Amino acid sequence: MFSLYQILGSFIGVIAIILALLRFREGKMTIGMLSLWILIWVAVIYISLNPGSTNFLAVATGIGRGLDLVLILGLIGCYYLIFKIYTMIENMEKEITTLVREFALQKESIKEKSNDKFKEN
């Protein structure tokens, strides 16, 4: 008999895989990212259906329980994703600043050329 968390974990994992496949199909995700997310969600489904499977890894890493290992790895993964998103935002801010400066210079250049033509007439 399956418990509620096993059913929910499996259901959420299947839905997430379907959503990842749809995003890939729409061209919003690369094949590498699709593979990574499918691997993660298959692991979630596997751990949901076989919660005892994490005990071996927990003992091997010196962590008391399998659930603790899963939570620690999830927290580390979240921190990594936050860091990656932060660096992406910083890079986008720099690119936007550069583009705005170039646009302003081009606009000023066009303005000066039109003023020169107006003075000639």
Alpha-carbon dihedral 9, 14, 19, 22, rounded to 10 degrees:
170
Q: What is the pLDDT of residues 69-119, one digit of tens each?
A: 888 988 999 999 999 999 999 999 999 999 999 999 998 888 877 777 766
Say if residue 82 is in the same domain as residue 47: no
Provide the residue range defining the domain that includes 10.
Answer: 1-51
The reply to whether 44 falls in a domain is: yes
95 within a domain of the structure (yes/no) = yes
**Together in a domain, 44 and 77:** no
3-state secondary structure of 5: helix
pLDDT: is 38 or 3 the higher one?
Answer: 38
Domain assignment present for 73: yes
Tell me the pLDDT band of 120, cut-offs 50, 70 and 90: low
Same domain for 75 and 45, yes or no, is no
Count of structural domains, the chain: 2
How confident is the model over 20-34, as pLDDT tens digits? 999 999 999 999 999
